[in-house]
């Protein structure tokens, strides 16, 4: 375990993100990894159910911050790079592992991991912690989800233990968080773009009340997706991306 981090492991939790919130609400500061062999109420973005079968990795990092919410949100891209490196290393094939805006990691174009950021402590305007939830399909993957999905076992053709994946994730996160803190978001942004799925290609962005088709031309300095369509550009901060 890298210096400055703690690890709490459970057989089953309602949600590792919820457990991190309980730790923060109890006033137990610091940086804490929470992992569960299974979850009974795992959630993804926008409250979507995250299928939590035993054998996959369900982990959350309660991370102490001293920055504003906009800066803290950059940790979604930091985490995506950490997960990308873990998956690419295990599969020994970095070219097939890509980052999908805003917070997924793909292998051969199929979702293999998802990330969920939440805040905790001292109100949403000035949070004391960010909760970084990570789900990696290790042994299983959904068959009929919103996106095509895969797992490490499916890609490797053999089983792999979730604790091994967790160990690699913890060290990869330590590396990328340190790089973010020392070098800033510009380095993270470029590294993410170098692995971006669909960059400079046609995408469909599904928003709360509309759907837009255009070219994913860039990622701006805040992490927003820049979409070019009908001769104009729009900076999108939240939405679901699909590929025609």
pLDDT tens string 113-133: 999 999 987 654 567 899 999
CB-count burial class (<10 Å; 0-12, 13-18, 19+) for 51: middle
Phi, then psi, of 27 in degrees rounded to 5: 80, 20
Sign of the torsion formed by the C-alpha atoms of 241, 148, 40 and 91: negative
Q: Same domain, yes or no, for 89 and 114?
A: yes
| pLDDT digit string, tens, across residues 175-209 | 999 999 999 999 999 999 999 999 999 999 999 88
On whether both 28 and 130 belong to a single domain, the answer is yes
pLDDT at 52: 64
Beta bridge partners of 11: none
115 and 64 co-located in one domain: yes
Q: Are 123 and 79 within one domain? A: yes
What domain range is 148 assigned to?
5-194
The pLDDT, as a whole number, for residue 28 is 79
Do 130 and 59 belong together in one domain?
Answer: yes
With 0.85 as the threshold, say if the pTM is over it.
Answer: yes
CATH code, domain with 231: 2.30.30.100
Give the end of a domain, one of 173, 194, 215.
194
- As for how many domains the chain has, the answer is 2
pLDDT average, residue stretch 13-20: 94
Mean pLDDT (the chain) is 91
Residues 62-117: pLDDT tens digits?
999 988 888 999 999 999 999 999 999 999 988 999 999 999 999 999 999 999 99
Q: Are residues 146 and 127 in the same domain?
A: yes
135 with 224, same domain: the answer is no
Quickly state the pLDDT bin for 145 (edges 50, 70, 90).
Answer: confident
Domain-ending residue, one of 194, 215, 234: 194
């Amino acid at each position: 375990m890298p210096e400055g981090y703690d690890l709490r492991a459970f057989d089953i939790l309602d949600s590792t993100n919820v457990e991190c919130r309980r730790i923060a609400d109890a006033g137990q500061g610091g940086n804490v990894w929470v992992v569960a062999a299974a979850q009974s109420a795992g959630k993804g973005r926008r409250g979507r159910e995250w299928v939590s079968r035993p054998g996959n990795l369900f982990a959350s990092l309660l991370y102490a911050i001293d920055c504003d919410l906009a800066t803290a949100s950059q940790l979604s891209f930091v985490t995506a790079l950490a997960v990308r490196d873990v998956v690419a290393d295990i599969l020994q094939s970095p070219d097939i592992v890509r980052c999908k805006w805003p917070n997924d990691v793909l292998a051969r174009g199929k979702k293999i991991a998802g990330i969920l950021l939440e805040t905790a402590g001292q109100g949403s305007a000035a949070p004391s912690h960010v909760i970084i939830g990570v789900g990696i399909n290790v042994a299983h993957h959904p068959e009929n989800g919103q996106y095509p999905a895969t797992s490490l076992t499916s890609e490797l053709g053999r089983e792999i233990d979730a604790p091994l994946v967790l160990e690699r994730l913890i060290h990869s996160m330590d590396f990328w968080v340190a790089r973010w803190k020392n070098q800033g978001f510009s380095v993270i942004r470029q590294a993410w773009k170098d692995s971006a799925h669909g960059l400079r290609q046609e995408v469909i962005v599904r928003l709360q009340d509309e759907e837009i088709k255009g070219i994913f031309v860039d990622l701006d300095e805040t992490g927003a997706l820049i979409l070019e369509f009908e001769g104009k550009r729009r900076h999108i901060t939240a939405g679901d991306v699909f590929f025609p």
